[in-house]
Amino acid sequence: MDRRTFLHIKEMTRRNTPDLMRTFLANERTFLSFIRTSLTLFIVAFTLIKFVDHVLLEFSGWAFVAFGVATFFVGLTRYFRMKIIIRAFTKSYPENERRKQPEN
């Protein structure tokens, strides 16, 4: 994770919890897009391997399998790394600094 992302999350802890929730949900959306991309690569690979009788295209299909596996694991590691960072900031967020509703 780069320094700019780290400082952005640190700044969110000074503000309010909904920003952290948006970051958590954005992390999940990013993970789902990695899964979608890897599944698309698997479909292309399956199509090239099963339905094309050219050796070069079949080899390309196996390359797409490798790219699909790599994409999935990159997304998985990125998701869990960011999830740990977000939870660390959530736990360090002081309860008494959260916005309170005005008392009437």
Quick one: tokens of 33?
Answer: 């897009």
Q: Which tens digits make up the pLDDT trace of 10-58? A: 665 555 566 778 888 999 999 999 999 999 999 999 999 999 889 999 9
How far apart CA 23 and CA 84 sit, in angstroms, is 12
Contacts of 76 by beta carbon, 8 Å cutoff, 6+ apart? 31, 34
Give the range among 56-65, 81-90, 95-104 with minimum mean pLDDT.
95-104
Dihedral, CA of residue 74, residue 22, residue 14 and residue 79, to nearest 10: -10
DSSP for residue 95 = G
- Rounded to a whole number of angstroms, the distance between the first and last alpha carbons of the chain is 44
Max avg pLDDT among 9-23, 67-81, 89-103: 67-81
